[in-house]
Amino acid sequence: MKIYIGSDHGGYQLKEELKKYLSELGYETEDMGGHELNPEDDYPDFIFPVAENVALRVAQGEHAMGIVIGRSGNGEVIAANKVKGIRAALCTTKAMARHAREHNDANILSLGADVIDAKGVKEIVKVFLETPFSNEERHKRRLQKIDDYEIAHNK
């Protein structure tokens, strides 16, 4: 599985640490930027490419996920969810990460570098990447309602 990762200056250091961690876990990653610490950069410039690549891979029937990082993770999750086919979730605990995958089939994890410690973030990432979607009918039904709404209201 390929992992696309991106962050602005607020998440740059954590992104660099997570790339090493993901490699240790055996994941292939593609860094969509920022590629240097630039306090003037804007998170949409890096988050949209992560989301677009994940959405494209998923639409092609491949398995890909994304990780987006900022100071709080809020702007990043909002931006990622603007891309059709993306279900991004802001997670600050392992339980949130597990539910995002099991119940919502989330394909992008949003993280806030200022609100999660280094050990905790690795645990959240691991749970998110290793937890499968439950495929329970009630969750599939709810996701279908979201997809239907998106199609009907974004023509």
CA dist., res. 29 & res. 20, Å (int): 10
Could you say which of 76, 102, 123, 136 is catalytic? Answer: 76
Note the pLDDT tens digit of each residue in 56-89.
999 999 999 999 999 999 999 999 999 999 999 9
Could you say which of 17, 30, 102, 103 is catalytic? Answer: 103
What's the full length of the chain, in residues? 155
CA dist., res. 9 & res. 63, Å (int): 28
Residue 87's contacts (CB-CB under 8 Å, 6 or more residues apart) are 81, 104, 105, 106, 107, 108, 143, 146
Number of structural domains, the chain? 1
- 24 among known catalytic residues: no
- Note down the domain range covering 18: 2-153
Does 90 score more than 70 pLDDT?
yes
Residue 154 confidence (pLDDT): 76
Residue 23 CB: number of other CB atoms within 10 A?
12
- 103 among known catalytic residues: yes
CA dist., res. 98 & res. 38, Å (int): 33
Note the pLDDT tens digit of each residue in 98-117.
999 999 999 999 999 999 98
CATH code of 53's domain:
3.40.1400.10
What pTM, to 2 d.p., does this model score?
Answer: 0.95
What percent of the chain lies above the pLDDT cut of 90? 93
Does 155 score more than 70 pLDDT?
no
Arithmetic mean of pLDDT, 39-51 = 97
28-31, strands of its sheet edge to edge: 28-31, 2-7, 64-70, 108-112, 88-90
Cα-trace Rg, the chain: 15
